[in-house]
Amino acid sequence: MMSVADCGGGDNGAGTADGSTTSDAGTGDGSTQGDAVGSADGGDASTIVAACDLTYVDAVLAAITTFESAIGTTLTAATEYDDSANSTTQLDVYKTNWSNLPPGAISFSRPGITLSELSSANQINAFNGLVQAALSSAGYTDFTGVLAADDYLGYTKNANGYGAELYHVAVVGTPSETGLWTLMFGGHHMAFNVTFNAACSYPTPHHIGVEPRTQFTSNDHYASTYGTAVYPSASYQVLATKASAMVAIFSALSSAELASAFLTGQTFNDILIGPVEANTGLYSAVTAKFDAIASSSDRGLLVSSLSSTEQNLVTATIQEYVGDYDTATASRLLADYESGYAGTYVAWANASGTATTTPPDVTESGTYMRIDGPRVWIEIACQAGIVIQGQSHYHMMFRDKTYDYYNELSGSAGNDAGTSMVGGGNDGGGPPGDGGGGPPGDGGGGPPGDGGMVDP
Amino acid sequence: VPPSTVTLDIGRRFVSATLFLPLSELGTALALPLAGDASSVPTRYGPTIAEYVRHHMRAKDRLGRAYTLRPLTMDLKHTENREWVSNDWLEVHADFDAPPESSTDFLELDYDVIFHRVLSHEVFVYVSHDLRNGLMGDKPQLVGMLGFGSTHVVVDGVRGSWWFGFRRMFSLGMHHISEGTDHLLFLLELLLPAPWLALAGQWRERKTTAAAFRSIVVIAGGFTLGHCLTLAVASAGYVHLPSRAVESAIAISILVSSMHAWRPIFPGREVWIAFAFGLVHGLAFATVLTGLSFDGITLAVALAGFNLGIEWMQLLLIAVVLPILLVLSATRAYPVLRNAGAAVGAACALGWIAERGFLLSNPLRAFTDWLAAFTPWAIATALGASGVSLALLCVRGVVARQHRSLALSLRDTDAPAIAGLVQEVTRPRPTTDLLPPRDREGW
């Protein structure tokens, strides 16, 4: 039915004014390209078709091949989690194992190998080639900037637990032109999760952040330790264009619009929907938050009510995020998101919870801005510095409410009441209380009518 | 950004909640400058915060009847975690009384402290103590994550029971003593010389079997009484000694009892030594029950189960060791065995004293670890040996009775005839030869 058209653009559900994902993209009728390529969830498995142009996926596949031959079989085995050797459940957990936090501050391990395990110019160059194949030049600029910033925290500011060598690369699932698999680059302030299905790419959830927010000069610690650079020696100011594109939206608003975009009484010391699904392999915790957003009375200012100039600023901001990936993916997503402006809001908040007449100020901790559409979700939080105290730093989140992880994680209505909930008495001793408390009806479960998620 | 935690301890009639709230986030939520001057927070803002917290959490039972919240208390805490913007915390204690005619086995918590204003804030909810479900505080269970979009968590412990909790504590008590190499070693060292009589600073000769039996039982009884007392007192929270001091004292107790097994240093007063050191060992047992004193009934059930488990295991142990001791102690090789046992005990004790008392590396670590790992095999071997010993003792009993009856009928029968008879019944050696001369009449 729509297996190709769907991928090429045209989010048929994007225009719904209530912002729900109910009719999005046909996942509810089981006719996504996932079915067309014969995945397990029913449908006609007789033909295997790539639904998107092969240029991008082939470039990434070639870069993976080059990288894996450079690192050898042992490291490859640690990098790639094949379908044959892992259950879907396990693969899903790997896909959700990303975070904004440095490795020492999280309770799980990111999948794959770290840059500290690369030991020759050939390996490191192959890694750089893989990142450049997966990301656009804008995305690669963010990538190198975050690595340079972490080396700066670790070896200029001498904070423990930071450094470019701690970043991970992983391939979850068996990479192919037709199958479902995810390429992950992750570490402190970084989660690139690019899921491929039938040659189309779905690059969310995408988290990016940086400390310091202001300009710094790279110390090139990785290059001097490992012999080859993973980021250019340069002066950096990371994520500045993303932040200023977002600020520009609010700066262009009239004072009445600015006030109506303000989330009165709400404050944010971080992004709202960060890695809430981490280490679960489930989407339900995310769904719960999106449902609460959808049902909240105050979501900000409708984009469709803005002038075309103002709408263009919204588009330019979205472009800053989708533009981190190949042009085909970027234009497909951008078209989808633009078509949903009738249900898309822009909103902002500050530390006091009370509106000001001046637009958001990224130098202030507590400044928060977001774009919240039927599918698109972009938020920027300016929060207090950790290593560099007294200076705010960015956390950013880009999600697609329908297509995070290509919509393949379990967590839709009715199948997950117990998501991250463990029963009151489940102590491994086996006894009565086991599983005692999956809270019935609690927000863990997706709401009825969500319909956006495909059953596993 | 630091999250909050809510830790629930489930008592019989009430649920004790401990809220660990980051001052930075609480300050944002209340629009108060809490993080700036942490130390003044309880006095300046205590009532405001208490009022706020009371209005942002409530608990209901299965039928929707409300728990009653007692007055809150609060303490300041400080952590050192460089990942967090703020390391000052307010620890709020809130006790929820179950509705009359309801039970604490089911609780629905509605909660939006901090995140009703700070939407990015997250709350981890744990159950730490729930005896009826076997939760003893050592493995807190995550029962939910609260935050924007989820303000509700259900704590359903209805499948637990007091009987289950009691059994759990009983097996915990059994494990605790069977895996506690140091407790076992102390008791064994104390029992090692028990079958013998001290005379002029030497272990001279074996007591009668009945007397040896009595000694062993009395010593074990003294130890039991001692550790029962302190276990109860310490787990109720009346006594608290630093664990390093307690552990060191236990190592010393092993050294002392080993020395006593080598040469009598407190002959005839073993029961008092056993009692006194029992007091020390009880303090160590009590660490398992830490944190239960919040609720009397919970503590009482846990204490009863745990203590009975310890006693039961100890009884089993003595039942196994006793026959072996009785038989071995009647052999000529026993003084050598006893001294060897004393030497091993003393060496282990010295190792532990170095490790626990002086924080040195224990040169015998490998050996004591091996000893602990060896325990199951030792138990199996001991069981076998005990069976053989028991058989020997029975045979001796039979022989002794036959001896008496033979002696009655054949008054002038000589020893070799009896020895021959014994040889027929048991294999290796005439039992009578195993005994020191003085003891024969006991049979």
Q: Does the structure show a pLDDT above 70 at A313?
A: yes
Q: Which of A106, A188, A189, A269 to mutate to test the interface with B (most CBs of B within 10 A)?
A: A269
Q: Does the structure show a pLDDT above 80 at B129?
A: yes
Q: What is the pLDDT of residues B365-393, one digit of tens each?
A: 777 777 777 666 777 777 777 777 777 77
A150 falls in which pLDDT band (50, 70, 90)?
very high
pLDDT of residue B112: 94
Q: What is the pLDDT of residues A245-268, one digit of tens each?
A: 999 999 999 999 999 999 999 999
Q: What is the pLDDT of residues B266-276, one digit of tens each?
A: 888 888 989 99
Q: What is the pLDDT of residues A44-61, one digit of tens each?
A: 444 445 578 899 999 999
Q: Is A196 helix (H, G, I), strand (E, B) or coil?
A: strand
- Which residues of chain A are within 8 Å of residue B114 when distances are taken between CB atoms? none
**How much helix, strand and coil, in percent to the nearest 5, is found in chain B?**
55, 20, 25
In chain B, the N- to C-terminal Cα span, in Å, equals: 78
Tell me the average pLDDT across B297-321. 87
Whether A288 contacts chain B with CB within 8 A = yes
B31 and A353 within 8 Å at the Cβ level: the answer is yes
Count of pairs with CB atoms under 8 A, one residue in A, one in B: 159
Whether A366 contacts chain B with CB within 8 A = yes
The radius of gyration computed from the CA coordinates of chain B, to the nearest angstrom, equals 30
B130 and A425 within 8 Å at the Cβ level: the answer is yes
Q: What is the pLDDT of residues B143-163, one digit of tens each?
A: 999 999 899 999 998 888 899
pLDDT of residue B436: 41
| Smallest CA–CA distance from A105 into chain B, residue | B83
Tokens at A377, concatenated: 């979700």
Tell me the average pLDDT across A123-137. 97
DSSP A311-322: HHHHHHHHHHHH
pLDDT of residue A418: 35
pLDDT of residue B325: 83
Residue B245: other Cβ atoms inside 10 A = 13
Tell me the average pLDDT across B36-57. 91
B118 and A440 within 8 Å at the Cβ level: the answer is no
Query: What is the nearest CA distance from A317 to chain B, expressed in angstroms?
Result: 22
- Which residues of chain B are within 8 Å of residue A270 when distances are taken between CB atoms? 1, 120
Whether A381 contacts chain B with CB within 8 A = yes
By CB atoms closer than 10 A (0-12, 13-18, 19+), residue A417 is middle
**Which of A8, A18, A4 shows the shortest CA–CA distance to A340?**
A18
pLDDT of residue B418: 40
Whether A391 contacts chain B with CB within 8 A = no
Paired residues of B198 in beta bridges? B203
Asked whether the beta carbons of A420 and B145 are under 8 A apart, the reply is yes
- Residue that wins the pLDDT comparison between A62 and A425: A62
Q: Does the structure show a pLDDT above 70 at A181?
A: yes
Tokens at A121, concatenated: 């110019």
Q: Does the structure show a pLDDT above 70 at B265?
A: yes
B151 and A443 within 8 Å at the Cβ level: the answer is yes
Q: Does the structure show a pLDDT above 80 at A42?
A: no
Whether A270 contacts chain B with CB within 8 A = yes
Whether A440 contacts chain B with CB within 8 A = yes
Query: What is the nearest CA distance from A411 to chain B, expressed in angstroms?
Result: 15
pLDDT of residue B202: 83
Q: Does the structure show a pLDDT above 70 at A29?
A: no
Q: Which of A211, A273, A295, A427 to mutate to test the interface with B (most CBs of B within 10 A)?
A: A427
Measure CA B354 to chain center: 23
Tell me the average pLDDT across B121-130. 94
Q: Is A361 helix (H, G, I), strand (E, B) or coil?
A: coil
Tell me the average pLDDT across B386-407. 68
ipTM of the predicted assembly exceeds 0.95: no
Q: Does the structure show a pLDDT above 80 at A32?
A: no
Query: What is the nearest CA distance from B65 to chain A, expressed in angstroms?
Result: 18
Query: What is the nearest CA distance from A164 to chain B, expressed in angstroms?
Result: 18
Whether A177 contacts chain B with CB within 8 A = no
Instruction: Output the average pLDDT for chain A.
Output: 83
CA–CA separation, B351 and A400 (whole Å)? 61
Q: Which of A219-228, B128-137, B365-374 has the lowest mean pLDDT?
A: B365-374
Tell me the average pLDDT across A93-121. 95
Q: What is the pLDDT of residues A360-396, one digit of tens each?
A: 999 999 999 999 999 999 999 999 888 998 899 999 9
| Smallest CA–CA distance from A380 into chain B, residue | B120
- Residue that wins the pLDDT comparison between A61 and B424: A61
pLDDT of residue B405: 59
User: Which residue of A291, A421, A427 is in closest CB contact with B135?
Assistant: A427
List CB contacts of A113: < 8 A, sequence separation 6 or more. Answer: A71, A75, A78, A79, A168, A169, A170
Q: Which of B24, B80, B109, B119 to mutate to test the interface with A (most CBs of A within 10 A)?
A: B119
pLDDT of residue A105: 87
Q: What is the pLDDT of residues B218-238, one digit of tens each?
A: 988 899 899 999 988 888 878
- Which residues of chain B are within 8 Å of residue A188 when distances are taken between CB atoms? none
A268 and B150 within 8 Å at the Cβ level: the answer is no
| Smallest CA–CA distance from B8 into chain A, residue | A424
- Which residues of chain B are within 8 Å of residue A272 when distances are taken between CB atoms? 119-120, 148
pLDDT of residue B352: 86
B156 and A292 within 8 Å at the Cβ level: the answer is no
Residue A17: other Cβ atoms inside 10 A = 11
pLDDT of residue A444: 32
pLDDT of residue B216: 85
- Residue that wins the pLDDT comparison between A272 and A24: A272
A267 and B29 within 8 Å at the Cβ level: the answer is yes
pLDDT of residue A287: 94
A447 falls in which pLDDT band (50, 70, 90)?
very low
B120 and A381 within 8 Å at the Cβ level: the answer is yes
A414 falls in which pLDDT band (50, 70, 90)?
very low
Query: What is the nearest CA distance from A389 to chain B, expressed in angstroms?
Result: 8
Q: Does the structure show a pLDDT above 70 at B316?
A: yes
Q: Does the structure show a pLDDT above 60 at B258?
A: yes
Q: Does the structure show a pLDDT above 50 at A171?
A: yes
| Smallest CA–CA distance from B150 into chain A, residue | A443
Question: What percentage of chain B reaches a pLDDT higher than 90?
Answer: 30
Residues B372-404: b if buried by 16+ CB within 10 A, e if exposed: eeebeeeeeebeebbeebbebbeebeebeeebe
List CB contacts of B146: < 8 A, sequence separation 6 or more. Answer: B6, B111, B112, B115, B122, B123, B125, B152, B153
Question: What percentage of chain B reaches a pLDDT higher than 70?
Answer: 88
Q: Which of A6-10, B305-309, B401-405 has the highest mean pLDDT?
A: B305-309
Tell me the average pLDDT across A87-104. 95
Tell me the average pLDDT across A112-134. 97
Q: Which of A224-238, B319-333, B405-419 has the lowest mean pLDDT?
A: B405-419
B164 and A428 within 8 Å at the Cβ level: the answer is no
